[in-house]
Amino acid sequence: MVRSKLSVFPGLPALVLAGMAVWLSGCSTTEVDKTANWSPNKIYSEAKDELNGGAYDKAIPLFEKLEGRAAGTPLAQQAQLDKAYAYQKSGDQAQAIATLDRFIKLHPASPALDYALYMKGIVNFNDNLGLFSFITRQDLSERDQKAAKESFESFKELTTRFPDSRYSPDARQRMVYIVNSLAQYEVHVARYYYTRGAYVAAINRAQSALTDYRDVPSLEEALYIVMKSYEALGMTALRDDTQRVLETNYPKSEYVRNGFKAKEQPWWKVW
Residue 144 within a domain = no
**CATH code (residue 68):** 1.25.40
pLDDT digits (tens, 9 = 90+) for 130-185: 433 433 344 444 455 788 899 999 999 999 999 999 999 999 999 999 999 899 98
User: What integer best gives the mean pLDDT of the chain?
Assistant: 84
Last residue of a domain, one of 61, 91, 111: 111
pLDDT per residue as tens digits for the range 90-117: 999 999 999 999 999 999 999 999 999 9
Residue 259 belongs to some domain of the structure: yes
Q: 123-126, long-range: CB within 8 Å, 24+ apart, which pairs?
A: 123/84, 123/88, 123/93, 123/96, 123/97, 123/151, 124/93, 124/97, 124/148, 124/150, 124/151, 124/154, 125/151, 125/174, 125/178, 126/88, 126/93
Give the per-residue pLDDT at 258: 84
Once rounded to an integer, what is the mean pLDDT over residues 229-245? 97
Q: What is the CATH number of the domain that holds 245?
A: 1.25.40.10
Note whether residue 135 is domain-resident: no
Q: pLDDT band at residue 57, thresholds of 50, 70 and 90?
A: very high
Spatial CA neighbour of 210 closest among 173, 252, 250, 237: 250
Decide which of 53, 87, 111 is a domain's last residue. Answer: 111
Q: Is the dihedral of CA 253, 254, 258, 262 positive or negative?
A: negative
Count how many domains the chain has. Answer: 2
Least confident of 19-33, 162-176, 241-255: 19-33
pLDDT tops 70 at residue 25: no
Q: Which letter, b or e, does each residue of 43-70 get, where b requires 16 or more Cβ atoms within 10 Å of its Cβ?
A: bbebbbebbeeeebeebbebbebbbebb
Does the residue 163 lie in any domain? no
Residue 18: inside a domain: no
Region of poorest pLDDT, from 54-68, 91-105, 125-139, 198-212: 125-139
Read off the pLDDT band of 19 (50, 70, 90). Answer: low
Residue 58, domain extent = 39-111
Q: Is 8 part of a structural domain of the chain? A: no
Which one of 111, 128, 157 terminates a domain?
A: 111
Residue 201, in any domain of the structure: yes
| Residue 120 within a domain | no
